[in-house]
Amino acid sequence: MGARRFLICGSLAVIAIPLMAASSCDTSTSSSSNANSTTSPGGGGTSPGGGGSTSTPVPVRKVTGTATTLGAGSFPGGKDVAVGLYDVTGGSGQSGNFIVTGTDSYDEILGSAGGAGGVPKVRVQISTGDQIQISGLSTVVFTPVTAPFVTTHTTTTLYAGTFTVGQDVGSGRYVATPGTGQSGNFIVSGTDSYDEILGSAGGAGGVPNVSVTLSDGDIISISGLSQVTLTASS
């Protein structure tokens, strides 16, 4: 009985040795496979050569300037108003002249001015040495622009002031149309060039809309218009 029990145990030991060897081989193969797989830092994707792809970072607007409120008078850019990009608005119920000369140039009737073509706000770039002149307005507010970049070819609405293609509107083909009953200047300079009076301007030769091609870096200048819709087209 004792000898028979010994033989059975010996047989089990012989069977166990191949099983242990097979288990050892499987572990080695798994480790080798894992060593060949490399993830990028952060663990979100694979490194070059690993079959993954990297995304292009979305450009972010750098906010410049300092919120400022002025009244009537003349003010130097870089001193009374910090250098930067602003949306400028007049006080409630007010209407008057807002003019910038120097590196940058703007000439608008700011506020509701009856039939005089006033605009409620204007997008302006202020540089060192610019001269800001305000008349007929006791309150003019300079608010730094924080709106995110618009880089895709999509319908966009702009207003009086200056805008950059690739930042405020995506490049591409558009039809520019003024707000109902409005009339003013629509100018594009840079790679592309347009100069139109949009809207009904009496005998001044205004057009109801204009088809334009816009390229990154073009500057759009709008005056006398509180709304211009750029409708994306093919």
Fold match, 60-148 / 149-234: yes
| φ, ψ dihedrals at 90, nearest 5° | -95, 165
- Positions of the chain with pLDDT under 50: 1-49, 114-115
Q: Taking the domains of the chain in order of start, what are their residue ranges? A: 60-148, 149-234
First and final CA of the chain: distance in angstroms?
95
Sign of CA dihedral 228, 147, 141, 161: negative
pLDDT above 90 coverage of the chain, percent: 67
Amino acid at 193: S
Separation of alpha carbons 200 and 181, rounded Å: 7
Query: Helix (H, G, I), strand (E, B), or coil: what is residue 167?
Result: coil
CATH topology of domain 149-234: Jelly Rolls (2.60.120)
CATH number of 60-148: 2.60.120
Query: Helix (H, G, I), strand (E, B), or coil: what is residue 39?
Result: strand
| pLDDT 10s digits, 75-107 | 999 999 999 999 999 999 999 999 999 999 999
